[in-house]
């Protein structure tokens, strides 16, 4: 399933350092799956 990350907002034009650190840590350890589904669905949905 999809993993959601909540960024609380920008302060002085930058996101919170700890939130970006957590997001980066998750991306660096995630296991990559075959790209068959991603190639047939080439879009991202973002809600603000």
DSSP string for 1-40: ---------EETTEE-HHHHHHHHHHHHHPPPPPTHHHHH
At residue 47, the 3 state secondary structure works out as coil
pTM: 0.54
Question: Looking at the predicted structure, is the pLDDT value of residue 32 above 80?
Answer: no
Question: Looking at the predicted structure, is the pLDDT value of residue 33 above 80?
Answer: no
Question: Looking at the predicted structure, is the pLDDT value of residue 7 above 90?
Answer: no
Residue 20, domain member (yes or no) = yes
Residues 6+ apart with CB under 8 A from 22: 5
Range of the domain at 25: 1-7+15-33
Residue 40, domain member (yes or no) = no
Question: Looking at the predicted structure, is the pLDDT value of residue 31 above 90?
Answer: no
pLDDT at 46: 78
Give the confidence band of 1 by pLDDT, cuts at 50, 70, 90.
low
Question: Looking at the predicted structure, is the pLDDT value of residue 21 above 90?
Answer: yes
Number of domain units in the chain:
1
């Amino acid at each position: 399933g999809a993993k959601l990350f909540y960024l609380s907002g920008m302060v002085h034009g930058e996101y919170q350092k700890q939130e970006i650190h957590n997001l980066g840590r998750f991306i660096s350890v995630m296991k990559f799956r075959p790209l068959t589904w991603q190639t047939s669905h080439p879009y991202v949905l973002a809600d603000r």
